[in-house]
Amino acid sequence: MTIFLTFAEFPHFESVFFTENLLDFLGEQERIEWDRLKVPKRKREWLSARLVSKKLIRACVPELEQVPFSKIQILKEPSGAPFISAGNGQRTRVGISFSHSHDHVFAVCSPDDIHFGADLERVEPRAREFIEDFFTEEEIRQVLFSDPDQIDLIATTIWSGKEAVLKALRSGLSLDTRKIEIGYTSEPSNQEGWLRLEIKSPSRLFWRREGDFVETLCILENSEQDLHWVTI
């Protein structure tokens, strides 16, 4: 199985529109969603995440390398999970998941028919009330009994891991986050630069620190099939 990943800062709108007219960049259904967005910050996040993701999709799928961006649409299932429509408008088997935080995007794409979820969070303090509301008792213990200089990292990583699992399950926050229990570890995985998180489910969960951010990736299967990761 092959996974393509990218981490990027939001592009400047000026450079986007200099090379790609907005109407050429977005497909018909995407333009409908774009028009529904009214808050400038939300519009910038939405557009930037799609520009970064569409460039990753082109790198992931050679057949789409010359396809116009407007013919590669990132649409939503009723659950909110993204899927890719390409060419003549048919849904592809190519998987996509992305997350943005504080003007940065983490996107993951795979040409293989697997379910996965990606999340990006900036490492920052989490209120105790937040932790008590969304973490399990064991997760709370992991956070509160960790070294003081590690509390923010561990709390952020556990929360990001939950988000990645929920995205892989295509359930969003409709599932109680306490139904998912994450075990923080700094144990290396077999993917260079990535560490493991423990989870009681048939899935694999990875994390890494990227500057001020934590990236997490959940793959919803637990086979021994090797993963080939390509960073763009």
CATH number of the CATH domain containing 44: 3.90.470.20
The model's pLDDT over 81-112, given as tens digits with 9 standing for 90+, comes to: 899 998 777 888 899 999 999 999 999 999 98
Q: Which domain does 33 fall in, by range?
A: 2-113
| Domain stops at, among 44, 79, 113 | 113
Residue 18: pLDDT band (50, 70, 90) is very low
The answer on 165 and 73 residing in a single domain is no
Q: Is residue 231 part of a domain?
A: no
The model's pLDDT over 170-197, given as tens digits with 9 standing for 90+, comes to: 876 677 888 899 999 988 887 878 999 9
pTM value? 0.90
The answer on 144 and 71 residing in a single domain is no
The percent of residues in the chain predicted with pLDDT above 90, rounded, is 53
Q: Is residue 222 part of a domain?
A: no
Concatenated DSSP letters for the chain? -EEEEEEEEPPPHHHHHHHS-HHHHS-HHHHHHHHH---HHHHHHHHHHHHHHHHHHHHH-GGGTTS-GGGEEEEE-TTS-EEEEETTTEEPS-EEEEEEETTEEEEEEESSS--EEEEEEE-----HHHHHHHS-HHHHHHHHTS-GGGHHHHHHHHHHHHHHHHHHHT-GGGS-GGGS-EE----B-SSTT-EE-EESSSSEEEEEEETTEEEEEEES----PPPEEEE-
The answer on 108 and 10 residing in a single domain is yes
The answer on 107 and 129 residing in a single domain is no
The answer on 146 and 191 residing in a single domain is yes
Q: Is residue 224 part of a domain?
A: no
Residue 43: pLDDT band (50, 70, 90) is confident
Residue 13: pLDDT band (50, 70, 90) is low
Q: Is residue 229 part of a domain?
A: no
The answer on 100 and 6 residing in a single domain is yes
The model's pLDDT over 128-158, given as tens digits with 9 standing for 90+, comes to: 999 999 999 999 999 999 999 999 999 999 9
| Domain stops at, among 94, 113, 132 | 113
The answer on 182 and 90 residing in a single domain is no
The answer on 88 and 146 residing in a single domain is no
The answer on 132 and 69 residing in a single domain is no
The answer on 137 and 171 residing in a single domain is yes
Q: Is residue 61 part of a domain?
A: yes
How many structural domains is the chain composed of? Answer: 2
Q: Is residue 220 part of a domain?
A: no
The answer on 39 and 140 residing in a single domain is no
Task: Name every residue whose Cβ is closer than 8 Å to that of residue 136 and which is 6 or more positions away in sequence.
Answer: 178, 181
The answer on 133 and 65 residing in a single domain is no
User: What pLDDT sits at residue 225?
Assistant: 64
